[in-house]
Every structure is written in structure tokens, then in C-alpha cells.
Amino acid sequence: MNRLFLLTILCIGLYPCLGQNINKKYSNSSNDNKINWQFFTLVDTLEGQVIYHKIAPIPEGHIIGASVTIVKTLTNDTIRILELNNDMKDFKIMSTVIIYPMGQPTTKVLFPMENDTTCQTIKKTCYGLLIAKQ
């Protein structure tokens, strides 16, 4: 009887692990290429064209994830925008977006892996809210 009870508890405890994608790659804010990011605080809204976009690696919940979007602004400045808990918005390349200021979080944030060499050369980084321009 005790064995059956322990086996049941073990199965219930392992149930949330089923169906996890082990091939999905995550990174956190302490990765080497992120050390070179130069953070600034966005003061005003900006407009620009998306040249790269990856949605947040995890859905909104207890752990904070951020999407990574590289935008070329109207003043020809190329910047990285981190949008917290953006696991739903998927911007197309060359689409126009408006960027609203957003404060920097006080906790660690998970980012999707950036394999594109263009992304690794962009240093200017800020947190913002992205809205597609109609």
C-alpha cells in the first residue's frame, strides 16, 4: 500500500515534465554576448522598421522572459528592444513599429538565443513596448 501511494505521488510530481521540448535553447542575461550590450533608457516614443525579431522564450508566468527585436529607427540608428513577457507578438521583418518606453526589470530575464551575426554586433539596448503601426 505504501509503495502504491509513493508511486502515485511520484507520477503526479513528474506529470508537469511531460511534453517539454528539450531541443529549445534558452539563454539568460548573464551570457557573454550580452555583457557587451550598452543599456540606455528610452525617454520618448520611437518609430522604426523591424530587421530582426524573436519572441520571448517562455510564456508569461513566474519567470520573466523578453522578446528581442532589432529596429532601424527613422534617424538610421539601429537598436535592440527587449519587450518583457512578449510571447505572443510576432513582428514580420520590415514591418513598421512604434516603441514606447518601458522600465528595466529588477530581476533576471530570459532571452531567446541570437544566432544572427547582425544581432551580435548591435550594442545599444533598451526595454520597450512594441506596437505595430497601422
Class of domain 40-134: mainly beta
Neighbour count for residue 121 (Cβ, 10 Å): 11
Secondary structure letter of residue 30 according to DSSP: T
The pLDDT of residue 3 is above 80: no
Cβ atoms of residues 68 and 128 within 8 Å: no
- Indicate whether this model's pTM tops 0.75: no
Q: What are phi and psi of 77, to 5 degrees?
A: -100, 135
Q: What pLDDT is attached to residue 90? A: 85
- Of residues 4 and 103, which shows the higher confidence score? 103
What would the pLDDT profile of 25-81 be if each residue is shown by its tens digit? 444 443 455 678 899 999 999 999 999 988 877 766 667 888 899 999 999 999 999
Secondary structure letter of residue 86 according to DSSP: -
